[in-house]
Structure 1
Amino acid sequence: MVRRLLAGVLAVGAMLSGAVLVGSAPAEAKTVAVSDTLLPGQKLMTLQSIKSASGVFTLTMQRNGNVTLLQRGETQPLWISGTYRPGSVLVMGTDGTMRIIYGRTQIWSMGAASPNAKLVLPNTGLLAIYNTGGKAVWNRHMVIGTLMPGAKLRAPDVLGRDVTLYSLDHVYSLRVLTSGDMVFRKNGTTVLWRTGKNAGPEAHADINLNGSFCTYTSGNDCVWEFATHRPGTVVQIRNDGSYLLINGRTIVKKFV
């Protein structure tokens, strides 16, 4: 009888937390989800959230399928997934990768291979994935390995929304500078490639659904573009220093 009552309490607690358990979750994910944490195997469905303990920061799966990180009192999101598919679900995978699933299709992923890692939203607002040793293997300022359609690279701004693409080993990086120039570097110092085009403050870059890789001004005017004309193309940085545009298994463009 006691076990049945305990199971009921845990189930109610999981629903109140806003995090839903996936059936294949490991043992620790079957406990009540902490309000600021998405455990391995848990997910956020439409209008479900996790929130920092202070209540200042909230990560929410919006009705339009876009995941947003908002700070209390601010109208601009600190971070967005860029996935506008109503009915999508954010899943914290047991392999350490955070995914957005639409139906049975993975449309977005972020993180690094780290079994049983968890997603945490601390009071600093630095959304991050932590491995079992307590080390952050991803945070909201990072894209690891591959930039998928919809995700954005951002120049630093007053809200701290900068996002940089890194190789898996973090040696190589693709960053949009405060000037709006996009630069590919080794070890954060050696410049291997750059657009040479200044998009100005609060610039960003993305790979569009139509396969065009662009940098934009804060007003969304494209100032540099490489058009692949191949929908589904992604940007990828490899540990050997290769900086590529890839469609399926085909290398469309090798910048470095």
Structure 2
Amino acid sequence: MLLGSAPAEARTVAVSDTLLPGQKLLSGQYIRSKSGVYTLIVQPAGDVKLYQRGVKAPLWASGTWRPNSVLVMGTDGTLQVIYGRTKVWSMSIKSAGAKLVLPDNGNLAIYNTRGKANWNRHMVVGTLMPQSKLAGPDAAWDEVVMYSVNRIYTLKFLTTGNLVLLKNGTTVLWSTGVKNAPGAYGWVSPDGSFGTVNAFGDLTFFYQTRRAGSVLQLRDDGHLVMVNGRTVVKTFF
């Protein structure tokens, strides 16, 4: 069991804090911050998790559960979890030559060739994949906010537990209308549902597409939609 460090079978892997374009991590392999405090490892069950030394709970996880999946830093700048030939999770925006870095502050990030972060572990960019989470500032996990690729629109939890869609960080375009539900987080399930809960796990908002594999997208035009393949099955805004 992993308690903030890599298991014995992974210790033969050369330790680096960077996954370069085209490189991948197989089950049990990892990258580690130069300080040795933070480790990103691919679990045998297929989940990719970020641990801090001495802390049992992961700081971040991909939420993927396909045994023997592979984490790939694509040459196009997208970070992906691949099972066989199937992409089960992806993150960031296309930016050729970008790399994944685990710095000493633990803020796992994808940096483009200009040294600018396209993504970090507190962000979801464009698409919320099944099992990935959004989280409020007072949730059990670190806060995770969703951004459109153009960064004009954001989807985030307030401390009240209300999930709000914002334009330019100030104008509210849509919300779940939830009140008095601190510690909120939300996710898309593999069965195609999207829901939010409070700190006690009580469901506060729920929508079921009835189409497995659907994802939540925040588009550059501000539309928040549930999509299955190329079909929009629900438009929230």
TM-score norm. by structure 1 comes to 0.84
1:126 aligns with 2:123: no
Q: Aligned pair 1:17/2:9, yes or no?
A: no
Report the CA distance between 1:199 and its aligned residue.
6.6
Q: Deviations over 1:59-87 (max 9, x none)?
A: 01011111111111222211110001111
The one-letter code of the counterpart of 1:200 is A
Report which structure shows greater RCO (CA 8 Å, sep ≥6). 2
> Larger C-alpha radius of gyration, 1 or 2?
1
| Structure 2: stretches of 5+ with no match in the other structure | 1-11
Using the alignment, how far apart are the partners of 2:140 and 2:195 within structure 1? 22
Q: What is the identity, as a one-letter code, of the residue corresponding to 1:236?
A: Q
Counterpart in 2 of 1:211? 192
Aligned to 2:218: 237
Aligned partner of 1:52: which letter?
S
Query: Percent identity between the aligned chains?
Result: 55
Question: Would the alpha carbon gap of residues 247 and 60 (structure 1) be closer, same or farther in structure 2, given more than 3 Å must change?
Answer: same
The residue matched to 2:94 in structure 1 has which SS?
Answer: coil
Equivalent residue runs for 1:103-252 within 5 Å: 103-157=84-138, 161-198=142-179, 200-252=181-233
CA separation of 1:151 and 1:55: change in aligned 2, threshold 3 A: same
Unaligned runs of 5+ in 1: 1-14, 19-34
Q: Does 1:89 align with 2:79?
A: no
Q: Given the superposition, is the C-alpha separation of residues 239 and 50 from structure 1 closer, same or farther in structure 2, using an over 3 Å criterion?
A: same
Distance 2:190 2:180 in 1: 21
Aligned-residue offset at 1:160: 6.6
Q: What is the one-letter code of the residue matched to 1:17?
A: A
Q: Which amino acid aligns with 2:56?
A: T
- Is the 1:65–1:88 Cα contact (8 Å) retained in structure 2? yes
- The structure carrying a bigger helix percent of its residues is 1
Quote the RMSD (CA, aligned, Å). Answer: 1.6
Cα deviation, residue 17, structure 1: 1.6
CA distance in 1, matches of 2:219, 2:211: 21
Displacement after TM superposition at 1:57 (Å) = 0.8
Structure 2 length-normalised TM: 0.91
Q: Which amino acid aligns with 2:200?
A: G
Cα-to-partner distance string for 1:69-112 (whole Å, 9 max, x where unaligned) = 11112222111100011110000000000000001111000011
Give the alignment partner of residue 49 of structure 1, picking from 14, 25, 30.
30
- The 1:106/1:158 distance shift into structure 2, 3 A limit, reads closer
Of 64, 70, 81, the match for 1:100: 81
Contact 2:136–2:184 under 8 Å retained in 1: yes
Distance 1:238 1:16 in 2: 39
Q: CA deviation at 1:202?
A: 2.8
